[in-house]
Amino acid sequence: MRNKVRSIYKNREEFIVIGLTGKTGSGCSTVADILKNGYKEYNPVDCNLTDIQSRKAEIIKKFASKNFIDDDKKFKIIKPSTILIMLFLFDNKIIIEKITSLFESLDKKEENLKKEIIELKEIKKIAEILNKDVEVFKEFFKFIDLIDIENSKNQEDDILKEIKKVKELYERKLKLESKEDLEKEIKTILGTKNNIKLKKYRLDFKEYKTIDENSTDKKMIKDKIDLKRAIFNDFIKKYSKINSKRFIKLYTRSNEKIQKLREEKKLSTKDLQLIGDLVREYVDIYQLPNYCNYLIKAYRNESKNKSCYIAIDSLKNPFEIVFFKERYSAYYTFSIHSKDETIEKRLKDLGYNSQEIEGIHKKEQNVDEKDKQKGSLDSSKDFNSQNITECIQRSDIYIDNNQDKKDTLYRQIFRYLSLIVHPGLITPSKDELIMQIALNAKFNSGCISRQVGAVVLNKHGSVKSIGWNEVPEGQLSCLLRSHSELLNNSTLNFYSKYEKSDFKSKDSFKYIFSTTKQPQYKESDKLGLNDSFCFKSIQNEIDGQKNQVYTRSLHAEENAFLQASKYGNSEIIGGQLFTTASPCFLCAKKAYQLGIKRVVYIEAYPDISNEQVFEIGSHDIEVVHFRGATGLAYQKLYEPIFSYKDELKALNKKEKRV
């Protein structure tokens, strides 16, 4: 019996992948170091042992001290920043694409041209730091270095001339490149020279041929570039599998080099952010997670019959989190949170100034100059860029790192590691239970922009109301309404009197995505998607301004407050508000007026509501970033595989001798 119980848990104990995310300076690398070094003795409690949470902490420590002490329970750390640099070094696609982008910026706005020149100067600097072979671009980069950015518009003719020259040079080199040249390049990149036999990898070189030097067929050149990348990717995939130990060594060498350059301040966070964006845009949005995945499989292959624990430090793009969630049931995203003032102090202690810190955080939160927080997918930038806000929303487990105390971090980390390998070891905290209700509530929202859920408790901790961002009762949410239905003179009360008259006749509504007259929802119609539309966005375009007053939905917190008052007998003075996104300015004022004493949130709303509304007056309101597990992780961690009573019985019952 006891062997059967152990074998059931063995699958969970053998393999774990954790992705870390959070703002630069929040403590992802600190958590990674704890995972890398494994279990160490720590103080499990910071208050009286009679407290329920302290009792749970003692149980977790007992379990962790027995189950995370072996070397194979220490995490292997994968640095995406190192993978990104490896991808940059592997070929010249990024440089070629940036030169093309420079060409396309000519005759356009001066700011576009300046941006391209600045980024090319940065790429040249990074290539020199990394000793990347850019011989074919040598003269072009010399020219770029000499460009006066402020006077760049007057140098367009010279820029065009240099672009043509370098493209001809690159294309000529590519045309003459043979199968043998590519084999040599692969060996050089790997640092293996001639001691690797490529035949066993069965790479498809037969189509990789030289092209007539005088050929002007652009398609042939493009096809050869794509083929070169396909062959190299195929090789890396097979190399990581067949020679997993060598592949790990290749990564380790690269990582040591990159970390040394970062310690020497030669390679900055800003440099890595730029390379990350360029890899996602010009190579593939999933290229980074794919290469991380090759490394995960290599580590797993080398672990043989032992446990294999992997931590990725850290993920900054939400689609990379989606990639791992869809591939591994044993994958969890840990979001590391620290207050802005704490982060700023840490980064300043590391030598960053205020301007550098602001630039890093602005970039990783995908904050645009024209709007405070871009959460929409308006351009390729929104797919390719870092977006910590969205990463936090997609996380499974939230870790607090405000106190800079290892014991506090150990308590949280080993709580969730223990629950991953042994679900149901303890029960959820009260905060986790309530936030899970708020998270489930948000999926009722029919808003097509974002979903938010909220729960209001009274002063005794009893749930008094639940809300989500939604239109008033009796109206139809935007998700269920139809652009074509309104355009075709619908008389249904799903649409307002205003929408049926002036609104639908406006070009901003008729041509919602394009000024051309083809069907506006042509591509989504092919996929069978409903042609929903956002009233607020269209009305703001009609008015030529950005006005939040036109939103059709009540905010989640507002809805929860109104539910409490609508049905009466719901005193919430001295109560708590749990919300998946911190209250906006208006909802914060309502919470203050209603006497809410504690606000718990996951995603920080990008405004001054906390400082301006909560930190003033005679009411003492505690605003807390959520700490715990949510979503599917909540169920996976707290749902026992079988009852604890039966498990104890099966483990301790003496086996009858036959």
Q: Are residues 439 and 518 in the same domain?
A: no
Q: How confident is the model at residue 192 (pLDDT cuts 50, 70, 90)?
A: low
Q: Are residues 453 and 539 in the same domain?
A: no
Q: Are residues 521 and 575 in the same domain?
A: no
Mean pLDDT of 531-556: 90
Supply the DSSP string of 175-187, one letter for each residue: HH--HHHHHHHHH
Give pLDDT, residue 107.
80
CATH number of the domain within which 443 lies: 3.40.140.10
Q: Looking at the domain assignment, is residue 64 inside a domain? A: no
Q: Looking at the domain assignment, is residue 126 inside a domain? A: yes
Q: Say if residue 252 is exposed, middle or buried (CB neighbours under 10 Å; 0-12, 13-18, 19+).
A: exposed
How high does pLDDT run on average in the chain? Answer: 90
6: pLDDT strictly greater than 90: no
Among the candidates 511, 529, 545, a domain finishes at 545
Among the candidates 510, 545, 580, a domain finishes at 545
The one-letter code for the residue type at 240 is: S
Give pLDDT, residue 519.
86
**Cα four-point dihedral sign 300, 304, 308, 311:** negative
Q: Are residues 382 and 512 in the same domain?
A: no
Give pLDDT, residue 379.
59
Give pLDDT, residue 50.
54
Q: Looking at the domain assignment, is residue 643 inside a domain? A: no
Q: Looking at the domain assignment, is residue 296 inside a domain? A: yes
- Beta pairing, strands 598-603 & 622-625: parallel
Return the percentage of the chain with pLDDT > 70, whole number: 95
Q: Are residues 283 and 364 in the same domain?
A: yes
Among 630, 481, 482, 606, which Cα is nearest to 553's? Answer: 481
Q: How confident is the model at residue 612 (pLDDT cuts 50, 70, 90)?
A: confident
DSSP-assigned letter for residue 567: T
Q: Are residues 488 and 585 in the same domain?
A: no
pLDDT tens digits, one per residue of 234-275: 999 999 999 999 999 999 999 999 999 999 999 999 999 999
Domain count, the chain: 3
Give pLDDT, residue 373.
44
Q: Looking at the domain assignment, is residue 401 inside a domain? A: no
H or E element that contains 467: strand 463-468
Strand-by-strand arrangement of the 15-21 sheet: 76-78, 308-313, 15-21, 331-337, 397-400, 628-629
- Determine the Cα–Cα distance for residues 376 and 384; give it in Å rounded to an integer: 13
Q: Which domain holds residue 235?
A: 80-393
590 neighbors 558 (Cβ within 8 angstroms):
yes
Give pLDDT, residue 374.
46
Q: How confident is the model at residue 658 (pLDDT cuts 50, 70, 90)?
A: low
Q: Are residues 526 and 565 in the same domain?
A: no
Provide the 3-class DSSP secondary structure of residue 614: helix
Q: Are residues 466 and 506 in the same domain?
A: no
Give pLDDT, residue 653.
84
Q: Are residues 253 and 309 in the same domain?
A: yes
Q: Looking at the domain assignment, is residue 568 inside a domain? A: yes
Q: At what angle do helices 269-278 and 354-364 cross, to 10 degrees?
A: 20
Give pLDDT, residue 372.
42
Mean pLDDT of 474-489: 94
pLDDT tens digits, one per residue of 126-138: 999 999 988 999 9
Q: Are residues 199 and 284 in the same domain?
A: yes
CB half-sphere exposure, 217, CA atoms < 13 A: 10
User: E strands within 326-434?
Assistant: 331-337, 397-400
Mean pLDDT of 554-574: 89
pLDDT tens digits, one per residue of 129-163: 999 988 999 999 999 999 998 888 889 999 999 99
Among 421, 417, 532, which Cα is nearest to 481's? Answer: 532
Among the candidates 501, 522, 545, a domain finishes at 545
| Cβ neighbours, 10 Å, residue 520 | 20
Q: Looking at the domain assignment, is residue 407 inside a domain? A: no
pLDDT tens digits, one per residue of 398-439: 999 987 677 889 999 999 999 999 999 999 999 999 999 999
Give pLDDT, residue 368.
59
- Determine the Cα–Cα distance for residues 140 and 127; give it in Å rounded to an integer: 13
Q: Looking at the domain assignment, is residue 241 inside a domain? A: yes
DSSP tally for the chain: helices H, then strands E: 31, 11
Here the tokens at position 531 are 């042609």
Q: Are residues 520 and 574 in the same domain?
A: no
Q: Greater confidence, 213 or 102?
A: 102
621: pLDDT strictly greater than 70: yes
Give pLDDT, residue 83.
96
Cβ partners under 8 Å of residue 313, min gap 6: 20, 28, 29, 31, 32, 77, 78, 79, 80
Q: Are residues 280 and 311 in the same domain?
A: yes
Give pLDDT, residue 619.
86
Q: How far is CA 339 from CA 46, 261, 403, 480, in A?
A: 21, 28, 10, 39
Give pLDDT, residue 371.
46
pLDDT tens digits, one per residue of 316-374: 999 999 999 999 999 999 999 999 999 999 999 999 999 999 999 999 988 655 444 44
